[in-house]
Structure 1
Amino acid sequence: MSNAALITREPVINKQHKITANRLIVHAASVSQAVEALDGLADVWPATHPVFISLYKLVPTPDLLNWIAPANAMVEIPVQSIAHPLTLSLIPQLQAAGISLNLTWYQHDTVLPANVPWRFVIIDAKRQTLPADPPGLALAWGLSDVPDFRNAIIQGYDGASGWFFLRGVTGNGKLAPSHAQIVRLMNLVRRNAEVKEIETVLKQDVALSYKLLRYINSAGFGLMCEIQSFRHAVTILGYEKLNKWLSVLLVSASRDPAAPALMQTAIARGRFMEKIGATFFDKGELDNLFITGAFSMLHLLLGASLQAALEEMHLPGPIADALLTGDGVYAPFLKLARALESFDDKSLASLASDLHVSSEQINRAHLEALAFADSLQFG
């Protein structure tokens, strides 16, 4: 794999537990290399939410002005480089270009340049308490789990950045009746049951029918006509595609207040696997890759063990192998999707190299997946 920039991410979560921004961490050897990578992604840029751009360990310099930033982009300025002459030169130029600025790793004694309207301020909550009067909307970073997040909001934070919502979620280990109903539908679709039989199950829960049609008609799917009914969906999509969309329905079935962020992450994983796997598998298998990624978080979303949930669904062997044992042909793609949710670009580069995929392919599939997950509007 070429030594080009790689992009990992973490989400920004608001008080309602929803992802309201995507924080992209660009791992590059220089700002110029970061700009080159970002410029090549304009056509797949996720436009639904604000996008924070972190240059990670690089000092932000005026080279960044060579990037034609999308309207929803915000550039992060770390306090460690805020007094650097090149960064001091860059800040007013970014302001003049209409690009919003975020301040990262703010501390009580940080000395700030005058007349800079910071939109968000990221604070390492592990190392210090919330300052009395932060210069922008305060986001906690470094939280351990969901209870940590609740405490941060009580303390006065406006939200948080990070993957804390993957930890501290508990359940009773069993599928709820609403989840079991969707699993029943999936099993009917997988064995090509009569449309009338499937419609009978759907009619027992009108809300499920509505959500299924809403997702199928979402912008991310790209249909040329609006699907009006389940029978219409079978005609246009066929059973295999419907199985994929029922998996989206299952992932989005949780009513837990903390679920929206989990749902969006699960779908982003699935879409990334589907995109990056397109050169490795026949078209018929790509939906299975999507389902593998989406179901990798079922235990968190449904409050049931992964083993119990999968036993009810009778999924194809490669999906079950990847999810339960980390083996099989889909497993390397799931590992790659998970590696995007980290600051560890070396591990990501190693996994990509094993699969012989380029950083450009990784970054493009990554942003396409984010845009797709955002388009479904969970919660």
Structure 2
Amino acid sequence: MATHSGNGDPVVHLREFFLARQPILDNTQGLIAYELLFRSAAAGPANVTDDLLATASVMANAAEMGMENVVGSSLAFVNVDVTVLMSDFVSFLPHDKVILEILESVKVTPEVIARIEQLAAAGFRFALDDVIAASEDVLRLLPVVEIIKVDIRDMAQDDLELLSARFKLAGKKLLAEKVETIEEFENCVRLGFDYFQGYYFARPVVLVGRKLSPSQLAIMQLMELLRSDADGSAIERAIKQDASMGLNLLRMVNSPGAGLTHRVDSLSQAVMVLGRRQLQRWLQILLYAEPNKSGRSVSPLLMLATTRGKLLELMADQIHPGNRGYAERAFTVGIMSLMDALFGQTMQAIIDQIGVADEVSQALLARRGPYGEMLKLAEYIERIEVARPLLVPTLRRLGLSIEQLNAMQLAAFEWSNSVASGA
């Protein structure tokens, strides 16, 4: 049930909506922003009014939630309609962290233009959402927006070329949304798009003969030593043989996400302080960080994998409190769920190389068992626009509430952001 804020506007309780963040990448495939989606948990067909009510509610509580905890160092794209745009809710958002995304349903009036100009003067930036044509309303908003989001799904190539050329000529940044394949990404890069939204980067592109980088190979060999219960000196020697791996490991274990109370300055200390299970965890994370050490933006695979890993760990701890082994296996499922995309190999080939428990294998290959249910829930929330009807039934099977899921997600986002700061 909704309550009301001081100015009479309805505010939705946390338990009544789902929160999702969808990554936005630049043309080097580095992470630069997230679109934040707030969707009503009400049963039945998607209700735009309820979704925007949820958005307004989150704006009203943005200070409490902490935008930086949700998106880290990235920007946040937030949907706004006329009601939200004209309301005081917008002022709760940090203008330096947010791009206000004007929905296609907004009817452009002199009052709307004046409000956008007022907010722009206060430091807010604007994007146009779901543009599929240069309509009259789009053209009227063109002078006051910075980014045009083009929905490329089902758009003919000729139309996409004409539309992108027109907006580029107007000096606008272009964001391609619903990009689902590497071919679509490459096509949009060729057309001059600047930003990309969609899960093409998380889809495995299996390349025959592809080899792991030397550092990835070193990490895999070290993980094998840990699995075979090699002695500590052998593990330390293996780390020291790859200088970059040692440096990256030290940097990551000293990040806020590691939760250590004092700084670790040597590899032997890292091995001793972390313990073998925790070292295995940080090596899994390091696999995602290694390909990204060129200095560009944060790897979206690193962010997605660490978020999934932490979210599944928190779910497992909620379902079976105090069972560390159960939670550790859940974390492994989340982290490993994107290794096919990372390595360009089938998941079966990866499992053959990295020995895992049967229940972990079942979750990764077939989304079966309790870990499989948790992984499905994480994937559904990422794809909330198409998978929303599946969320509540999956939560019920796991014995979790919407409120618990939202709290766990916020904790997972914050943890993933802190890990990325050390990667």
Q: Does TM, scored on the shorter chain, surpass 0.5?
A: yes
3-state SS of the aligned residue for 1:81? coil
If asked which structure has higher relative contact order (CA below 8 Å, sep 6+), I would say 1
The size of the alignment, in residue pairs, is 378
Instruction: Identify the residue that residue 122 of structure 1 maps to in structure 2.
Output: 149
Alignment partners' CA distance in 1, 2:357 and 2:334: 14
Deviation at 1:247, TM superposition (A): 0.9
Determine if the alignment matches structure 1 residue 183 to structure 2 residue 220.
Answer: yes
Q: CA deviation digits over 1:45-83, x for unaligned, max 9?
A: 32310011136x996454461672134122211232142
Counterparts of 1:12-27 in structure 2, within 5 Å, are 12-27=24-39
- Structure 1 window deviating more from structure 2 (167-176 vs 253-262): it is 253-262
Instruction: Identify the residue that residue 242 of structure 1 maps to in structure 2.
Output: 279
Alignment partners' CA distance in 1, 2:233 and 2:397: 46
| Partners of 1:173 and 1:305 within 8 A in 2 | no
Taking a change above 3 Å as real, the CA distance of residues 33 and 261 of structure 1, as seen in their structure-2 partners, is: closer
| Partners of 1:23 and 1:53 within 8 A in 2 | yes
Deviation at 1:13, TM superposition (A): 0.8
Counterparts of 1:168-207 in structure 2, within 5 Å, are 169-172=205-208, 176=212, 178=214, 179-207=216-244
Determine if the alignment matches structure 1 residue 267 to structure 2 residue 310.
Answer: no
Alignment partners' CA distance in 1, 2:301 and 2:90: 35
Determine if the alignment matches structure 1 residue 304 to structure 2 residue 329.
Answer: no
Q: CA deviation digits over 1:308-348, x for unaligned, max 9?
A: 22222222232222112322221111111111221132222
Instruction: Identify the residue that residue 150 of structure 1 maps to in structure 2.
Output: 186
Determine if the alignment matches structure 1 residue 276 to structure 2 residue 315.
Answer: yes
3-state SS of the aligned residue for 2:78? strand
> Structure 1 stretches (4+) deviating beyond 6 angstroms?
255-259
Determine if the alignment matches structure 1 residue 329 to structure 2 residue 370.
Answer: yes
Instruction: Identify the residue that residue 69 of structure 1 maps to in structure 2.
Output: 93
Instruction: Identify the residue that residue 55 of structure 2 maps to in structure 1.
Output: 34
Alignment partners' CA distance in 1, 2:392 and 2:17: 10
Partner of residue 227 from structure 1, selected from 264, 276, 286: 264
Partner of residue 8 from structure 1, selected from 15, 20, 45: 20
Instruction: Identify the residue that residue 5 of structure 2 maps to in structure 1.
Output: none
Alignment RMSD, CA only?
3.2
Letter in 2 for 1:353: R
3-state SS of the aligned residue for 1:329? helix
| Partners of 1:103 and 1:121 within 8 A in 2 | yes
Alignment TM-score, normalising by the size of structure 2: 0.78
- Structure 1 window deviating more from structure 2 (323-332 vs 116-125): it is 116-125
Counterparts of 1:41-52 in structure 2, within 5 Å, are 41-42=65-66, 44-52=69-77
Question: Which blocks of at least 5 consecutive residues in structure 1 are unaligned?
Answer: none
Greater percentage in helix: 2
Q: Report percent identity of matched pairs.
A: 24
Letter in 2 for 1:190: R
Alignment partners' CA distance in 2, 1:3 and 1:88: 35
Alignment partners' CA distance in 1, 2:390 and 2:54: 20
3-state SS of the aligned residue for 1:16? coil
Question: Which blocks of at least 5 consecutive residues in structure 2 are unaligned?
Answer: 1-12, 41-49
Q: CA deviation digits over 1:99-127, x for unaligned, max 9?
A: 33221123323435569642322111342
Alignment partners' CA distance in 1, 2:269 and 2:106: 57
Alignment TM-score, normalising by the size of structure 1: 0.87
3-state SS of the aligned residue for 1:9? strand
Alignment partners' CA distance in 2, 1:378 and 1:110: 47
Instruction: Identify the residue that residue 209 of structure 1 maps to in structure 2.
Output: 246
Instruction: Identify the residue that residue 416 of structure 2 maps to in structure 1.
Output: 373
Alignment partners' CA distance in 1, 2:326 and 2:313: 9
Deviation at 1:197, TM superposition (A): 0.4
Instruction: Identify the residue that residue 350 of structure 1 maps to in structure 2.
Output: 393
Counterparts of 1:284-295 in structure 2, within 5 Å, are 284-295=325-336
Instruction: Identify the residue that residue 125 of structure 2 maps to in structure 1.
Output: 100
Letter in 1 for 2:134: H
